[in-house]
Amino acid sequence: MWRPTERTGDMVGYGDGSGGIDVAGGAGSVGSAGTGSGVVSAGSLDGTGRGLPPGRSGQLNAGAGRKKTRRYATNGARYIVLAGLAVIVGFPIYITVVNSLLSSRQIAARPPVLFPLHPLWGDFSAAFSQAHLGLYLRNSFIVTILIMIAEIITSVLAGYAFAYLKFPFRRLLFMACIATMMVPMEATIVPNRQTIVALGWFNSFPALIVPFLASGVGIFLFRQAFMGVPKDLHDAAKLDGYGHWHFLTRIVVPLNRPLIAAFALYAFMSAWNQYLWPLIVTDTNSVRTVQIGMAELENVSVNHFNLIFAGTLEAALPIFILLIVFQRQLVRGLSAGALKG
Amino acid sequence: MASASAAVALEAVSKWYDNVPAIQDATLEVMPGEFMVLLGPSGCGKTTLLRLIAGLENPSQGVIRIGGRVVNDVDPKDRDVAMVFQSYALYPHMTVRRNIEFPLRSRHVPEQERNRLVEEVAGSLQLEKLLGRKPAQLSGGQRQRVALARAIVRRPLAFLMDEPLSNLDAQLRIEMRAELVELHAKLGITIIYVTHDQVEATTMGNRIAVIEGGRIQQVGTPQDIYQRPVNAFVAGFVGNPPMNIIEAKVELSGDVVNASFQGASFQLPADLATLLRKKEVSSVLVGVRPQDVSIVKEDTVGMGQLRAKVSLVESVGSVYRIICRLDGGGFVTVDAYRDKREIRTGDMVELSITGDMHLFDAASGERLEP
């Protein structure tokens, strides 16, 4: 609900007033409808946009002043809390960056160094070469991107089928999909590994990718979202000459782009951060992924914490980049939705 | 921009959902170029009927023809009908232009021709300046026009409209009503229009099909339906305020036939009397429109037939609407002119029937007619 252009000093006609998150105008008021920032004119204090008769505006000015002061105070308190939370979240990341630029001895120093005056950039390339990070990163990219694309495609298609198509055992199959979400990976890991070995896929990319081509979470997520697309749009598309495929690709997917982006991010992160499964279905560097590489980095550079920190940052970098790229889509996802009449 | 318009015919069409009938034995013939209104209360099946014609539902029984062709097994897209939805069903992520040309794209109309058609339709509906906008940036009336444009642009054989005006405010609704009638005259296209609003039905339709309980009750011109409702439901549903309907006993005394109601009785016209005598009907529903009842204060010397007490007097523009509680229970609405302004809530009054009287069989609700 970010519509700065609609702000006109008072809050007449602002948004839909339904109590979303208001980030416009600097006050950052959260929640309650009809609080907004900027100058509240007496003519619109009732919040309905109808205004009040001119004779009553005088007596309201004093009230408006008091309200303003109170609002500044509440907003100030909010900022302090939010800033505190930001420090708690941001500090470990900051300290990782700092440590990756220090020498091992500086890291061990007490009190800790909080700002690298002479940053050592060489750690990044050292981590890369000493622990084969380049190779692991490449492998991780191959595995993660393929899993992400496959999960999006299969989840969108299955979600659509469950939402729009009628076929025998639809409910049962959907239940089965949901049930996969309830079983922890640890419970299936041994039989899955045996299957992989039996298929002759040990130490290969298919072993890392194939078990994750579909996702119960994704199917559930998209089915629910697609069911929220107004039925009239489907009917209109049918009359406009479009079948299921075009309805999916031209209407349903574009309408749910923010959700798909969010799911892509989720799929990417879970695939990228996998550790246990790649560890047990591979034993050679040629197909191993970056998280295993990280563990190895720890072994080869026990006394070089700086290398571990640098390597950690390198392994986390793709996720950061992805977050930045998808950020707009994700934020838009909060306010997007199909149009009602 | 003349389009070929087609007749739409339903022959004994029924539709059940899990053994619950939604439409029963519907037979209806819509002439090419006709504006047919399907009128009925909520849940009567009128929208289902429209969806059956569109192909969005399949009939359980019966035959549907569009332009003479049986379309029971034809996909919606191949029926060549366009539909305007109550919610407008505009694609929110597309601009107005994309929305309007969407049905043309599926038919692989070349781009140049597509642009020409879109601009022609946009021009006729005053949408030229809005072509670059998204639906969320439009007002209700503008969205409505875009929905119409999307339907018109491909020149369908028939238009199906499902309560297209019900999301608009009152003023806009009146304007759009006029615009739709104008559009119909200009395009000469068959329109099947679903509404629960009898004002829309009577002002727009060439003919009206009144639907209740999944059955078509009556098909006729607005005048037909207003003047000669075939049963008590139609009589009570069409007309604002609704027709007064009172159950009365038939009493034969010599040559005269009286309808008696809680002690009061009034003589029935001779032709109706003959009919009642012949059919041996013992109890009837007497229907009288509010403007066909005259009202006088009890203390004025009158020939009132029914005694009543005034419960409410409303001033409705040119008339006073007086709602009276009859002595024997039940309410009667009277539309009186300004000379009755001395009548106030709580007054005792006498009512007499001065205009047309409609009689319905109390058991079946069917109209009794000589």
- Interface confidence, given as ipTM, is 0.84
CA distance B312 to B41: 26
The number of folded domains in chain A is 2
CA distance B25 to B14: 5
Domain boundary among B237, B252, B282: B237
Looking at the DSSP assignment, which residues form a beta bridge with residue B194? B38, B162
Same domain, B197 and B279: no
CA distance A100 to B295: 97
Q: What is the pLDDT of residue A62?
A: 66
Query: Which of B81, B87, B93 has its CB closest to that of A232?
Result: B87
Residue A175 placed within a domain: yes
Residue B231 placed within a domain: yes
> What number is the average pLDDT over the span A218-238?
94
Taking the CA of residue A9 and the nearest CA in chain B, the distance in Å comes to: 21
Residues of B with CB under 8 A from a CB of A: 51, 54-56, 75-77, 81-83, 85-93, 102-103, 106-107, 135-136, 140, 143, 150, 167
Q: Give the confidence band of A59 by pLDDT, cuts at 50, 70, 90.
A: low
**Residues 6 or more apart in contact with residue B192 via CB below 8 angstroms:** B8, B30, B36, B38, B50, B53, B158, B159, B160, B161
Q: For all residues of chain B together, what is the average pLDDT?
A: 88
Torsion of CA A3, A7, A10, A12, to 10 degrees: -60
Q: Please state, in angstroms and as integers, the Cα–Cα distance from residue A105 to each residue in A99, A109, A113, A130, B100, following that order.
A: 10, 6, 10, 19, 69
Residue B353 placed within a domain: yes
Nearest to A336 by CA among A275, A254, A277, A265: A254
For A160-202, write each residue's pLDDT tens digit.
Answer: 999 999 999 999 999 999 999 898 888 899 999 999 999 999 9
In chain A, residues with a C-beta closer than 8 Å to the C-beta of B91 are: 233, 236, 251
Q: For all residues of chain A together, what is the average pLDDT?
A: 79
Name the more confident of B89 and A335. Answer: B89
In chain A, residues with a C-beta closer than 8 Å to the C-beta of B77 are: 238-243
Nearest to B300 by CA among B267, B347, B266: B347
> What number is the average pLDDT over the span B73-99?
93
Residue A170 placed within a domain: yes
CA distance B207 to B28: 11
- Inter-residue contact B162 to B87 (CB < 8 Å): no
CA distance A11 to B245: 52
> What number is the average pLDDT over the span B52-59?
95
Cα Rg, chain A, nearest whole Å? 27
Q: What is the pLDDT of residue A332?
A: 65
Taking the CA of residue B76 and the nearest CA in chain A, the distance in Å comes to: 5
Query: Which of B77, B83, B136 has its CB closest to that of A339?
Result: B136
> What number is the average pLDDT over the span A334-339?
44
Domain boundary among B188, B216, B237: B237
Q: What is the pLDDT of residue B40?
A: 94
Residue A92 has pLDDT above 80, yes or no: yes
For B205-250, write each residue's pLDDT tens digit.
Answer: 999 999 999 999 999 999 999 999 999 999 999 988 889 998 888 8
Q: Locate tokens 């500086």: which residue?
A: A106
Residue B361: Cβ-neighbour burial (10 angstroms; 0-12, 13-18, 19+): middle
Residue B278 identity (one-letter amino acid): K
Same domain, A81 and A127: no
Query: Which of A235, A241, A251 has its CB closest to that of B103?
Result: A241
Distance of CA A50 to the CA centre of its chain: 41
Q: Which backbone phi and psi does B182 adopt, to 5 degrees?
A: -60, -45
- Inter-residue contact B191 to B151 (CB < 8 Å): no
CA distance A211 to A148: 12
- Measured on CA atoms in the order A119, A124, A126, A131, is the torsion positive or negative? positive
CATH number of the domain enclosing A259: 1.10.3720.10
CA distance B99 to B116: 15
Edge-to-edge order in the sheet of strand B35-39: B81-84, B158-162, B190-195, B35-39, B207-212, B215-220
Residue B2 identity (one-letter amino acid): A
In chain A, residues with a C-beta closer than 8 Å to the C-beta of B143 are: 341
CATH number of the domain enclosing B334: 2.40.50.100
Question: Running DSSP on this structure, what letter comes out for residue A156?
Answer: H
Residue B27 identity (one-letter amino acid): T
Same domain, B18 and B113: yes
Residue A104 placed within a domain: no
- Substitution target in A16, A234, A240, A260 with the highest count of B β-carbons within 10 Å is A240
Structure tokens of B57?
A: 């539902």
Within the 235-294 window of chain A, which residues sit less than 8 Å (CB to CB) from chain B?
A: 235-236, 238-243, 246, 251, 254-255
Same domain, A140 and A26: no
Question: If you measure CA to CA, which chain A residue comes closest to B82?
Answer: A239
Question: If you measure CA to CA, which chain B residue comes closest to A337?
Answer: B92
Looking at the DSSP assignment, which residues form a beta bridge with residue B254? none
Distance of CA A19 to the CA centre of its chain: 23
B295: enclosing H helix or E strand = strand B293-297
- What domain range includes position A250? 123-335
Q: What is the pLDDT of residue B255?
A: 75
Contact call for A255 and B88, based on CB within 8 A: no
For B129-173, write each residue's pLDDT tens digit.
Answer: 999 999 999 998 899 999 999 999 988 999 999 999 988 888 888
Same domain, A328 and A214: yes
For A115-166, write each residue's pLDDT tens digit.
Answer: 888 888 888 888 777 778 888 999 999 999 999 999 999 999 999 999 999 9
Nearest to A62 by CA among A45, A76, A37, A77: A45
Same domain, A29 and A177: no
B314: enclosing H helix or E strand = strand B306-316
Q: Give the confidence band of A280 by pLDDT, cuts at 50, 70, 90.
A: very high
- Inter-residue contact B214 to B58 (CB < 8 Å): no
CB pairs under 8 A between A and B: 65
Edge-to-edge order in the sheet of strand B256-261: B264-267, B256-261, B244-253, B283-288, B358-361, B367-368
Residue B5 has pLDDT above 90, yes or no: no
- 3-class state of residue A112 by DSSP: coil
Nearest to B334 by CA among B346, B350, B342, A334: B350
- Substitution target in B85, B109, B142, B155 with the highest count of A β-carbons within 10 Å is B85
Same domain, B192 and B284: no
Same domain, A134 and A210: yes
- 3-class state of residue B69 by DSSP: strand
**Residues 6 or more apart in contact with residue B110 via CB below 8 angstroms:** none
CB atoms within 10 A of CB B21: 15
CB atoms within 10 A of CB A276: 12
- What domain range includes position B291? 244-368
Residue B272 placed within a domain: yes
In chain B, residues with a C-beta closer than 8 Å to the C-beta of A255 are: 92-93
Q: What is the pLDDT of residue A274?
A: 92
Query: What is the DSSP annotation of B182-198?
Result: HHHHHH--EEEEEES-H
The number of folded domains in chain B is 2
